Structure 1
Amino acid sequence: MKMVKDKQILVAADFGGFELKEAVVKHLKERGWTVTDVGMKAGDTGEPEMYQRIGLRAGAMVAEGEFERALLFCGTGMGIHIAASKCPHVHSAVVETVPAALRCVTANNCNVMAMGGYYVAPRTGMAMADAFLEHKLGDGYEDWEGFYEYHKLGYDELENFDYEEYKANGFQIINPGKAPLGPEPLGHAY
């Protein structure tokens, strides 16, 4: 598996996210990252590949354990995010701000982050990529009692979620785990 700790990242974009992807990739390479780009690429000719196919391709590469994390780009970030999320073990977020990018990984343990070329300025996209890639679950919340355990439980329940079992159980989670979350520390900024 190509890991974040080894500065390995997967990227993919459709035509709507292409320019933002190019700016973020340039930034990451300047910071020493090895970037694997599975589309759309400069010089591609013909009919542009549709967002869902690019999202499925990238999502599958994360699902199959080829990459620990991926950055995806389309016009809004939403379509490519939906496609990638169809793949098992993909926990994707659409983000438009640096705090949201940070929170998607520190609280929700997302392994795929999508952003929209129509809404995200290149410098913001670079900062969001840095926030996503330089943090892990629980970072920055060590002073919040139970934060890691609470969010890890949420991640684990979603990772192991089986819709048919949930439906058979009357749309209830049977024997849910417990992870008390202490009060938010004063002055804590998201």
Structure 2
Amino acid sequence: MKIGIGSDHGGFELKEYLKEYLKKQNIEYIDYGTNSLESVDYPDFALKVAEGVVNGECNKGIVVCGTGIGVSISCNKVRGIRCALLSDTYSARMSAEHNNANVIALGGRVIGKDLAVEIVSAWLKSEFLGGRHERRINKISDIEAKYML
């Protein structure tokens, strides 16, 4: 498995912390930036991660900004991305099992680093259950096809 990870300046410190976690778990990742605390625009980095996932460069993605809101909105503008904004482990598990989320968004100024690791761990360990959830994911794809020309 390879994870794409990216952040703006507001999520930079949490992104770096999560990279250390991924290294310790022997999970490959691609860091799409940013590489400092200098102010940047979150859509640029969310787009890089989302494109990495849809083009197959990565299996899944993690995006971080101050609240996680901006990066989640940005990622969800990319056809094929199902980005879940997370702040707890239950939602992390459900986003994988029920929603087949292929990207997660976290708020670097909202949640603590250790909770972020727990969220990422829960998400990565969970798998899409299919079944009735597949029908719902297909309906999301239908919405994409209709509105994301």
Match of 1:83 among 62, 65, 74: 74
Partner Cα distance (2:76, 2:54) in 1: 10
Aligned residues: 146
Q: What residue in structure 1 maps to residue 119 of structure 2?
A: 128
Partner Cα distance (2:111, 2:61) in 1: 17
Q: 1:68 and 2:62 equivalent?
A: no
Q: What residue in structure 1 maps to residue 13 of structure 2?
A: 19
Q: 1:153 and 2:144 equivalent?
A: no
**Aligned AA for 2:24?**
E
Match of 1:113 among 104, 115, 119: 104
CA RMSD of aligned residues (A): 1.4
Q: What residue in structure 2 maps to residue 143 of structure 1?
A: none
Q: What residue in structure 2 maps to residue 41 of structure 1?
A: 35
Give 5+ residue unaligned stretches, structure 1. 139-147, 165-190
Give 5+ residue unaligned stretches, structure 2. none
Structure 1 residue 86 displacement after superposition: 1.0
Partner Cα distance (1:28, 1:53) in 2: 23
**Aligned AA for 1:163?**
K
Q: Once the two structures are superposed, what CA deviation does each residue of 1:38-72 show, in whole Å capped at 9, x if it has no partner?
A: 01124x7xx53200111112111112222120011
Partner Cα distance (1:98, 1:124) in 2: 8
Q: Percent sequence identity over matched residues?
A: 26
**Aligned AA for 2:136?**
G
RCO comparison, higher one (Cα < 8 Å, 6+): 2
Larger Rg: 1
Q: What residue in structure 2 maps to residue 31 of structure 1?
A: 25
Any idea what SS the aligned residue of 2:131 has? helix
Partner Cα distance (1:25, 1:35) in 2: 8
Q: What residue in structure 1 maps to residue 45 of structure 2?
A: 54
Relative to its length, the structure with more helix (as a share) is 2
- Superposition TM-score, scaled by structure 1 size: 0.73
**Aligned AA for 1:122?**
K
